[in-house]
């Protein structure tokens, strides 16, 4: 049972009001269109790349997505399609707008996302960009004069909206807090799973989903009885007269029909026989309850706008944001010295849902050194902090806690080499100093490994695990913005 399915069952059985607030599955055509522009969190390096010193505050929202689901209205009932073809935004609209946008001025941080080269970027747009945006994201942009011009083609709009998830989020969050107070780790873990997975199941793609099916084909009972009768000599084979439509089918005939059917419908990706079972890797619709990608779309859009509001507040007060990732920022602005910012963003201290908390573990703690090298690739250090908080190392694709037997730094060719993974005997790890060398243009070469079982993604009983060498090279690289010769970063221009 997946985390998403646990959250789905919890919501459906305890909070879903089918008669009062019905949630319908979207028509396939609209579902397909929305998925093209259903984006996740915002992950960017900003201001500067490389090594810098100062006071850097690493701030993180507590349960941002659940907070967005609690605080905002979502659409329900049936969606309607409306042809628009103009650039006038109507205040009563609620839903999604198929549109194009471009910048009229570049005084503000870009708000809207563009998918380019399979990466989510937030550029300045001199040229029109096609998209589908929530009405609430556009509304925020227009109300705050962010600097965009729009042209609308079509709307997927709703006449009804409500706080669909407020009661559910409140209930689960109270459950989590009580479990913490009681020291019930299992209940706390379950509550955390539910609250963090509450948005995800709405976005499940049930139309074209990769799945593996195991089937056991058997002869029809009548065919089996006939074979047994022939074997006993009770009847002769030529005595059998069968209507072709009602002829008992053999296992082989059933297997052949299934394969041909999947091939004809272009659903079959792979096929294997494992013992007495037939294993089909297919792409097909799956059965699911209560799925609507529009609700997940609204959640992530609300979250990006909420993060944007924090970025804007920091910028308006003269602060700089160096890095952000979905629900967190690294900034040089001390919001704890700003009573208005504390009231607005920190609240009761950072532990409440939606509040900002300080990753150092203390209310006003900060890091003195920062290294930004790329997306999900950064390091922070403050030797004055506690042992567990003084260093943070993040490197996507490399396990920062892995132990290696050998480490070699080649200063001539600018290479850091870590090889021979050894969990028990290895003494070498990636360090803050390695990140510093990476900021100077070094490459880090590490020996990774992963394990697979079976073949073609199938796990076969009693097969041994297979070790795969997965050597990886990482270096300073940022391609979501323009990096000048001094490592200063500005948004891309499209």
- Report if residue 435 sits inside a domain: yes
Cβ neighbors of 370 (< 8 A, separation 6 or more) are 51, 52, 53, 54, 56, 322, 323, 330, 378, 379, 380
pLDDT in tens, 301-319: 999 999 999 999 999 999 9
**305 and 168 inside one domain:** yes
Beta strands in 336-448 (DSSP E): 356-358, 367-374, 377-381, 391-395, 404-410, 415-421, 443-446
**90 and 42 inside one domain:** yes
Give the model's pLDDT for residue 92: 96
- Check: CB of residue 122 under 8 Å from CB of residue 491: yes
**7 and 115 inside one domain:** yes
**334 and 414 inside one domain:** no
Give the model's pLDDT for residue 399: 82
**148 and 8 inside one domain:** yes
Q: Which residue has the higher pLDDT, 106 or 423?
A: 106
- Report if residue 319 sits inside a domain: yes
**297 and 390 inside one domain:** no
In the predicted structure, residue 123 carries a pLDDT above the cut 90: yes
Pairing relationship of beta strands 443-446 and 415-421 according to DSSP bridges: parallel
**73 and 8 inside one domain:** yes
**88 and 158 inside one domain:** yes
Report the distance separating Cα 283 and Cα 249, nearest Å.
Answer: 27
- Report if residue 168 sits inside a domain: yes
In the predicted structure, residue 439 carries a pLDDT above the cut 50: yes
- Report if residue 368 sits inside a domain: no
Strand order in the sheet with 443-446: 404-410, 415-421, 443-446, 472-474
Tell me what percent of the residues of the chain surpass a pLDDT of 70: 89
**19 and 129 inside one domain:** yes
- Report if residue 203 sits inside a domain: no
**114 and 132 inside one domain:** yes
DSSP notation for 253-275: HHHHHHHHHHHHTT-EEEEEEET
469: domain range? 376-477
- Check: CB of residue 415 under 8 Å from CB of residue 445: yes
Last residue of a domain, one of 329, 346, 363: 346
- Report if residue 166 sits inside a domain: yes
Mean pLDDT of the chain: 88
Task: Grade residue 233 by pLDDT with cuts at 50, 70 and 90.
Answer: low
**342 and 419 inside one domain:** no
Give the model's pLDDT for residue 460: 45
pTM across the whole model = 0.83
- Report if residue 360 sits inside a domain: no
**316 and 410 inside one domain:** no
- Report if residue 197 sits inside a domain: no
Overall domain count for the chain: 3
Task: Grade residue 55 by pLDDT with cuts at 50, 70 and 90.
Answer: very high
Give the model's pLDDT for residue 40: 92
């Amino acid at each position: 049972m997946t985390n998403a399915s646990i959250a789905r069952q919890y919501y459906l059985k305890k909070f879903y009001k089918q008669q009062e607030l019905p949630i319908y599955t979207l028509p396939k055509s609209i579902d397909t269109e929305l998925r093209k522009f259903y984006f996740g969190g915002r992950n960017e390096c900003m201001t500067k790349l490389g090594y810098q010193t100062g006071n850097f505050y690493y701030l993180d929202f507590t349960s941002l997505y659940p907070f967005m689901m609690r605080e905002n209205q979502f659409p329900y009932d049936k969606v309607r399609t409306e042809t628009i073809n103009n650039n006038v935004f109507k205040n009563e609209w609620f839903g999604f707008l198929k549109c194009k946008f471009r910048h009229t001025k570049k005084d503000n941080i870009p708000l809207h996302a563009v998918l380019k080269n399979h990466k989510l970027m937030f550029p300045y747009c001199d040229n029109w960009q096609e998209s589908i945006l929530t009405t609430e994201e556009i509304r925020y942009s227009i109300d705050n004069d962010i600097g965009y011009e729009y042209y609308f083609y079509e709307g997927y709009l709703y006449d009804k909206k409500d706080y669909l998830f407020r009661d559910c989020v409140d209930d689960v969050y109270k459950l989590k807090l009580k479990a913490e107070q009681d020291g019930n780790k299992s209940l706390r873990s379950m509550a955390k799973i539910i609250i963090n997975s509450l948005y995800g199941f709405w976005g499940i793609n049930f139309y074209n989903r990769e799945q593996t099916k195991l089937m056991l084909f058997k002869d029809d009972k009548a065919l089996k009885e006939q074979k047994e009768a022939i074997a006993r000599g009770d009847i002769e084979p030529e005595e059998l007269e069968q209507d072709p439509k009602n002829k008992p089918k053999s296992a082989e005939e059933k297997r052949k029909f299934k394969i041909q059917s999947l091939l004809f419908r272009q659903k079959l990706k792979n096929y294997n026989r494992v013992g007495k079972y037939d294993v089909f890797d297919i792409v097909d619709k799956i059965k699911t309850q209560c799925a609507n990608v529009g609700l997940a779309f609204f959640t992530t859009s609300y979250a990006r706008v909420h993060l944007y509001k924090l970025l804007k507040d920091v910028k308006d007060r003269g602060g700089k944001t160096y890095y952000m990732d979905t629900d967190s920022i690294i900034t040089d602005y001390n919001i704890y010295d700003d009573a208005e910012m504390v009231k607005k963003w920190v609240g009761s201290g950072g532990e409440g849902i939606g509040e900002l908390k300080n990753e150092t573990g203390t209310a006003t703690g900060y890091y003195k050194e920062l290294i930004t090298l790329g997306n999900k690739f950064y390091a922070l250090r403050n030797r004055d902090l506690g042992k567990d908080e003084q260093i943070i190392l993040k490197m996507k694709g490399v396990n920062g806690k892995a132990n290696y037997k050998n480490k070699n730094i080649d200063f001539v060719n600018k290479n850091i080499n870590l090889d021979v993974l050894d969990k028990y005997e290895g003494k070498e790890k990636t360090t803050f100093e390695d990140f510093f060398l990476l900021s100077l243009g070094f490459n880090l070469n590490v020996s990774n490994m992963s394990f697979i079982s079976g073949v073609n993604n199938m796990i076969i009983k009693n097969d041994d695990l297979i070790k795969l060498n997965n050597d990886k090279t990482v270096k300073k690289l940022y391609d979501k913005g323009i990096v000048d010769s001094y490592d200063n970063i500005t948004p891309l221009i499209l």
